[in-house]
A = this chain, B = another copy of it.
């Protein structure tokens, strides 16, 4: 009656039980797998879109046109850049010379080049482009930054597409809330479906539980096979989920326009993602079976 042989027996009985209930084990595993796959793919798309949105966010900027008079004298550009960076909320500063501006305009006018025939490069003002820290993109804060630049003596005009930033910030906030809500909902549904499936499995085997208890099995001894089964279901489910995700990704990538591919890309390392899906599957299966058996045993 040593502890060791006890555990061997427990595990033996557990795997035996899995063998006996293969059909339900497989069915539950499939449910776990499908649920997990949907959840995981949702998370990937979410994380990727979130990253993309942040990148796009980087592209909003404030343009400050510089008075021609302020550009005279050596080092004046460096001074302007330094002063700009010192303003709180400014992430980066880029200088666009008169020549750069002309080249840019010309590129933007492709097909209408004739229009620019009489225009001289010197006619355009030089400018600096400022990028904001994300937390400064919000309406009031951004306006404050713009005000500070308007007061600079070298600034001729400050351009900032207030409306776009507000829209964008609202979108970001909305997207975060919506995706978070949807994620919670999906996790809830997955947990619910899995625990429900396990509950029905336990229910179908209540005779077995009752009889084991009557011949003197401890609660833990009774729970173990269900636990092992739950873990196994989670494992198989996780494996299935990984397979579905991988297959789905392959099917998508082979057809998807290149610039959209990032949406289905796995954001973290492949190994990490597989491990996470596995772990969640196992936790789901284990928790589901433990909860169901405990509830059932208490009513015995």
Which residues of A approach B to under 8 Å, CB–CB?
Answer: 24, 27, 30-31, 34-35, 38, 105, 111-112, 114-119, 123-124, 157, 159, 167, 170-171, 173-174, 177-178, 181, 185-186, 189, 192-193, 196-197, 199-201, 203-204, 248, 251-252, 255-257, 259-260
Contacts and interface: CB of A to CB of B under 8 A. Distances in A.
Contact of A178 (B34, B118, B177, B252): B252
Contact of A192 (B31, B124, B177, B256): B31
A275 to B, nearest CB: 24
B31 A256 contact: no
Classify the secondary structure of A's interface with B: helix
Nearest to A173: B255
Contact of A34 (B24, B117, B118, B193): B193
A174 B260 contact: yes
Q: How many monomers of this chain does the complex have? A: 2
A38 B260 CA distance: 23
Given A200-B24, A200-B201, A34 B189 contact: yes
Contacts of A111: 157, 159
Contacts of A35: 189, 193
A199 B27 contact: yes
A159 B27 CA distance: 58
Contacts of A34: 189, 192-193
B252 A38 contact: no
A174 B264 CA distance: 13
A224 B143 CA distance: 69
B257 A27 contact: no
A116 B109 CA distance: 12
B27 A178 contact: no
B174 A255 contact: yes
14 contacts: A24-B200, A27-B200, A30-B196, A31-B196, A35-B189, A114-B123, A115-B119, A115-B124, A118-B118, A167-B257, A178-B252, A196-B197, A197-B197, A204-B204
Nearest to A264: B178
Given A34-B192, A196-B31, A174 B105 contact: no
A259 to B, nearest CB: 8
B192 A30 contact: yes
